[in-house]
Homo-oligomer: A and B are copies of this chain.
């Protein structure tokens, strides 16, 4: 289903030789309208890949006719020549669709610092345009994989419309190879402003709350395109709910596919004075290598939770902190609580609950354990 689940979209995924072994590496998603309203959320990294710089410009217009994506190269840190490569890619798609390059978004993923093989890439774009179809969503999702072991797609049905999506990213565990790309489509009729509002809110509580190694990619891009082909103006609340569900579904798939991870860890922060505090604490704990190693070793080492919480400026008193690991309150009032030997850390899913005892707000941040396999995969990537 993927991005072609909603009406008005065609897609394709083809091999162009950017990845070795003949795997698909060029994806094209085309919005046939009648609307082409669109919104995008991009990495906050100040070192942005050429396609991010390009697509940010495109999205200021609030209209996207097509998105062309490639794996096999991030086109990041490639200087003015790399930007020209992105521009040329957009121009190529525009020519093939007899449209304006200013409404063609570009996404790239792969290794940083190397130019793309443009001849192969443009030939692949040609082929992708020729094989666009209403059931090309799965091939497109396949073409954006890097170290992803599975294709990531999701869809939800609204009242008279659909929301579909695809994503790539092996759990944000390798963001320097350009972590996460996602294209979400809908056939509902929604203005660009409303798409922007909905997408920002959805991303903030889904993709933004994945934090598997604290690194931030140069290429992260999430796009939301509306064709309006279903002829339905959706209820604003329902539409936001469906888009958020698709983002959450895709984010969960990223987490589960995290490179080298053996545990999916939910850091659930409750009793916060502000939601922002809860997110901040969740993120600090999610970034503690020591805790992530402990969970890998199935050790409910709550001291490492507290020492991470203590690095934040969230509202809390150290002697009022409570921590549960998989439901056992091993830390109460900032000191040892229930018997830690009762904690069962064998399941893949682990929940660490942190009660700040400072209010009523909460947030959950998702991360993974730190493993020798993570080290191995990321020691050997570019060589």
Contact = CB atoms under 8 A, between A and B. Distances in A.
Interface in A161-209: 174-176
Q: Tell me how many chains of this kind the complex includes.
A: 2
Interface of A: 44-48, 74, 76-82, 111-115, 174-176, 213-218, 287-291, 293-294, 296-299, 301-304, 306-312, 316, 318-319, 321, 331, 333-336, 370-372, 374-383
10 contacts: A44-B311, A45-B307, A48-B310, A79-B319, A79-B335, A111-B303, A113-B303, A218-B306, A218-B307, A297-B379
A118 to B, nearest CB: 16
Nearest to A383: B299
A296 B46 contact: no
A57 to B, nearest CB: 16
A25 B80 CA distance: 60
A46 B319 CA distance: 11
Contact of A79 (B297, B308, B316, B333): B333
A203 B380 CA distance: 36
Which of A113, A288, A319 has most B Cβ within 10 Å? A113
A381 B307 contact: no
Given A218-B310, A289-B289, A381 B299 contact: yes
Contacts of A316: 46
Given A46-B316, A112-B306, 5 more contacts: A45-B307, A46-B312, A215-B288, A217-B307, A299-B379
A289 B289 CA distance: 9
A215 B79 contact: no
A350 to B, nearest CB: 14
A307 B176 CA distance: 6
A37 to B, nearest CB: 30
B304 A77 contact: no
B375 A114 contact: no
Contacts of A319: 79-80
A215 B335 CA distance: 20
Given A289-B289, A318-B46, A380 B77 contact: no
Nearest to A213: B289
A80 B335 CA distance: 9
Nearest to A44: B311
A358 to B, nearest CB: 13
B113 A297 contact: no
Nearest to A308: B215
A51 to B, nearest CB: 14
A126 to B, nearest CB: 27
Contacts of A306: 47, 76-77, 112-113, 218
Contacts of A309: 46-47
B47 A79 contact: no
Given A47-B307, A218-B310, A378-B290, A335 B77 contact: yes
Given A370-B375, A371-B375, A336 B382 contact: no
B47 A318 contact: yes
